[in-house]
Structure 1
Amino acid sequence: MADNYDRAKSLKSPGDAEVVAELRGRIAELESAVRNKEVALRGRIAELEYANEQLRRRGQGEGNHEVLPVVVAATVDLSRVDTSIVRHVTSFLASSRELLKLALTCKSFGWRQPTSTLNWSLVEEVARQAACSMATEEEMGCLPQYVRGTATWLSILHRYEHLLMFDVLLGGFIEHRNGDKTAVCATGGFFSYSVAVSSSYVMTSGAHYAEFLITGKPYIGIVRPMPGLDADAYHEGEFCFIGMARLQPDFLVQRSDDWGDGEVHACEYYKYDGGVNWTDWDDDRIDEEWEGRESRQSGDTVGMLLNLDEGTLTVCKNNRRLGVIKDGLSGPYCWYVCLGKHPTVTDAVSIKRGEAPCSIRTEQRQPNRIVL
């Protein structure tokens, strides 16, 4: 045994001692790190035990022997809450879309309750109050009547939020369609034109978007507000804002200071071939070309975005952007349409407010370019 030990000892090289020393040093470092971690962990445990003791003492002082508070879920019986209070709170919702979302949350809001004296749900009652309080008698006449199973108060409120009316008719060959002031159609002989104006909606700044559902070949555009124009003076003849020189003096006398220095007093988009006409009521520019010009078909929905911050009028067809038909616009404008009868089709248009498609809302200003 002693011989074997001495032989192994004699075989060790001088480098072995250095390796052993290095390993022992590394082991000492690791042991020191472990001890430090143990000290830090004990300290953290002590802190947590102290905090828990403080919570326990606080709970005992308040008569609660639980270390942590217990949250108990509660169910509120809305039938025991006065409906007038619920209606008042609900009335702060801003739109028919938000009311619809509320109606879908639970039956207590969206369904008629058997114990309620209302003939409809709480949400329907809020929608009824909102529509009746905001809409004028004239506007209410353009809205559908409430009929259970056919028209809800939510749908009536939604219609009101998107309501635009043709409240002024100029010329003897146009009428409201079925008494609905949001829709007009041509009457009378072939190629006899008349105009409908949404005069109560005057656009003076910002961006405004409207949608026109078209039949036939109407003209659609913007015109200066002229509240002093006597519609009765034109109820027997033909009427157009552009292309009728004999009427231009009547229009210019309506000029007011808020028109400013802008030269474009009327601008219209011709649905049939996509041309653009505009006038300063001294000279008419008929059928100007523009980038994006495209012909239309009966049944299309034409959208128009008037951006008075940038002075542009942009057209889209069936939610697809076509382009800017006019720039350099300033001052106030109203929407209008010009309709006529044709051998194969009679012009008709309905109008409503809408939300501009993303392709229009996010576009950068693109100046109108004349194509030579």
Structure 2
Amino acid sequence: MADDGRAKRLKPSEDGGAVIFERERRIAELESEIAQLRIRTLAANQEVTQLRGRNAELKSENDRLRRRGQAEGNHDVLPVVMTATVDLSCIDSGVIAQISSFLGTARELLNLALTCKSFGWRRTMSTLNWSLIEEVARQAVCSRATDDEMGCLPQYFRGTATWLSILHRHEHLLMFDVLLGICIEHRNGDKTAVCATGDLMCSTAISSSYVMKSGAHFAEFLITGRPCIGIVRPMPGLEAGAYQKDFSFYYSSLYPDFLAQRSDDWGNSDVHACDFCCYDGTMSFTNWDDYEIDNEWEGKESCQSGDTVGLLLNLDEGTLTVYRNNRRLGVMMDGLSGPYCWFVSLVKHQTSTDAVSIKRGILRD
């Protein structure tokens, strides 16, 4: 057949109609998807416009609040607005008590009690006779204090002693609350630490509010210089202001003052004061008629600045044991009975100044 120069017309295949149909269907789907995307884009543009408007409103409010702060003389602090409250009555008190117990200290619990009445006021709908904070404080005292320490703490009595005050007392169980003699002071206002202030004049500090009557008690003394550390009878009638010179429990001129403080609970022991000398490790004791120095007791050992001297008073066994840097030196005195308090005697020497800090010890034997 001759080529007449015209384009030949191809014969469509048998499935050509199906291909065309599928193509048109796909085109329709794409056009629908494009339409949906256009709708979404329009909605997104509207949302962006709204957010921009809200952002402009917030900026305007922020500027207004800053101008108010500047007018009031405060350029940094913006007012705080409470937008929601929590009804604590809907929460189990045991859960709140458990959470509150992690605060730890009496001061933190007091601050919590002052935040709202749900914490600090007496819970009238509860079987407890005290506030939620009082219950947390009671649990803290009972879980932390040993039986022997409980005997040295104030007893709870409504109107006289609160559990919060008892917890605070337990946190400050050991402190030098009585200073006797003119040449001694608390170090930097800390009642757990004292230092000598006068040359070659002896003064004494007593932890008089911690009276040990039974059981075992362990205290640690971080020393500077060469102080003497020991136990003495509680004598609440001694007036610190009456001793404005040097002072020692071994001054014979003061024995009548000490014996005038005697009470029936002192018991049969004639050891009224007993101490360990950090300078040479000797032990001294007195019945306030005479005194003795033991240079040969089993644990005699000198100490130096920076050492920690531990004293373990076991009134069940009637013994006083000495430790140096957690190492047991030995039993310094036995036959003890009746109440005692911790005390330290300090002197300012020509080459050093005595200083001591006290804390509750943890026996590691």
Q: TM-score range by the shorter chain?
A: 0.5 to 0.7
User: Are 1:253 and 2:263 matched, yes or no?
Assistant: no
Distance 1:249 1:126, change over 3 A: same
- Per the alignment, residue 149 of structure 1 pairs with none
* CA distance in 1: counterparts of 2:361 and 2:326, whole angstroms: 11
| SS state at 1:246 partner | helix
- Per the alignment, residue 346 of structure 1 pairs with 353
Amino acid at match of 1:182: T
Which of 332, 336, 348 does residue 329 from structure 1 map onto? 336
* CA distance in 1: counterparts of 2:188 and 2:224, whole angstroms: 15
User: Are 1:240 and 2:248 matched, yes or no?
Assistant: yes
Amino acid at match of 1:228: G
| SS state at 2:255 partner | helix
The percent of aligned pairs where both chains have the same amino acid is 66
User: Are 1:86 and 2:95 matched, yes or no?
Assistant: yes
Deviation at 1:84, TM superposition (A): 5.9
User: Are 1:293 and 2:300 matched, yes or no?
Assistant: yes
| SS state at 1:250 partner | helix
TM-score, normalising length: structure 2: 0.57
Aligned residues of 1:292 and 1:322 also touching (Cα < 8 A): yes
Deviation at 1:300, TM superposition (A): 0.2
Distance 1:271 1:237, change over 3 A: same
User: Are 1:272 and 2:282 matched, yes or no?
Assistant: no
* CA distance in 1: counterparts of 2:290 and 2:174, whole angstroms: 30
The within-5 A match list for 1:155-234 is 161=171, 163-189=173-199, 191-234=200-243
* CA distance in 1: counterparts of 2:273 and 2:362, whole angstroms: 24
* CA distance in 2: counterparts of 1:303 and 1:292, whole angstroms: 13
- Count of aligned positions: 228
* CA distance in 2: counterparts of 1:228 and 1:162, whole angstroms: 22
* CA distance in 2: counterparts of 1:179 and 1:347, whole angstroms: 17
Amino acid at match of 2:220: E
Deviation at 1:355, TM superposition (A): 1.4
User: Are 1:262 and 2:272 matched, yes or no?
Assistant: no
The within-5 A match list for 1:138-149 is none
- Per the alignment, residue 34 of structure 1 pairs with none
Structure 2 unmatched ranges of 5 or more? 1-89, 106-114, 117-131, 142-166
* CA distance in 2: counterparts of 1:226 and 1:267, whole angstroms: 15
RMSD in angstroms over aligned alpha carbons? 3.1
Q: Which has the larger radius of gyration?
A: 2
Q: Deviations over 1:254-310 (max 9, x none)?
A: 111001111100000000110000000001102442112111111100110000000
